[in-house]
Structures are given as C-alpha cells and as structure tokens.
Amino acid sequence: MNVLVVKANNRPASQAVSSKMYETFIQNLEGVNVTTYDVFDEDMPYFGQELFNAFGKMQAKEELTDVEQRIVEAKQKAMDALQSADVVGFAFPLWNLTIPAKLQTFIDYVYAAGFTFKYNENGFKLY
C-alpha cells in the first residue's frame, strides 16, 4: 500500500501540534510505503494567471516563461504524487481559521477536471 502524506506546516514539532502529530504518525506506520509531500519544501508557485497563460501557450506550442514552466512542472509533480497513492493523509494546522496557502495551492494543483473529478449531465462527479 502506498501512503501519501501531504505535510503543510513548516514549524518544528516542538512548537506545533500538527507537526508533532505528523511525526508521531510517521514513526508508527509499518508495512506500507510512505511518501511525504511537504508543500513548504516544494517549489510551488501560486495557482493563477501564469498557469492559464501556460496552458494557452502549450496548446499553441509556444515557449513558456520560467515561471510558467515552474508552475506546470509543480502541478504535474503534485498530480503524480496523488495518483501514485492508495491512501492520502493531510497534516496541517489551522492558521487564522483556514489552511496554509501552500496547502491550498496543492489542492488547486490536483483538483482538476478529468483528474480528480469529471463533469456529467448533473454537474460534476468525483472519481
């Protein structure tokens, strides 16, 4: 079984409950392949116009800027990590009653039509 843990806290375990919970979880896993995708260690440009520009340029077979290339590669890396997992866990804090922006970026990268959901006559359906 392949387990993906998406870690979204760059504070040390001695200072953050979710980091301590992550460390405890990882130390107690046995008999599975575990991959940690630490959103604070990854090069993850924020999801926005650069990605949409890149999609258009890729369709037109035009050269991408450095930022566009980085975001396309980061999106694909996140999707590959998710696709190779049988089970996904998330380790993150609530900062100001919301998730860290880097975690939101990971979710934006992987939440895509044809990958994590598809459209049908009733709207959309999750895979």
Q: How far apart are CA 103 and CA 109, in angstroms?
A: 10
Residue 126, both tokens: 């999750």
pLDDT in tens, 9-64: 988 777 888 888 888 999 998 999 999 999 999 999 999 999 999 999 999 999 99
- Provide mean pLDDT across the span 77-84: 98
Could you tell me the residue range of the domain that residue 87 belongs to?
2-126
Percentage of the chain lying above the pLDDT 70 cut? 99
Q: Which of 26, 3, 32 is nearest to 13 (CA)?
A: 26
> Does the pTM exceed 0.95?
no
DSSP 54-117: HHHHHHTTPPPPHHHHHHHHHHHHHHHHHHT-SEEEEE---BTTB--HHHHHHHHHH--BTTTE
Q: Assess contact for 100 and 93: CB atoms under 8 A.
A: yes
| Amino acid 95: pLDDT | 87
Residues near 17 by beta carbon (within 8 Å), at least 6 away in sequence? 93
- How far apart (Å, rounded) are the C-alpha atoms in residues 60 and 33? 40
* CATH code for the domain of 62: 3.40.50.360
Domain count for the chain: 1
pLDDT of amino acid 127: 65
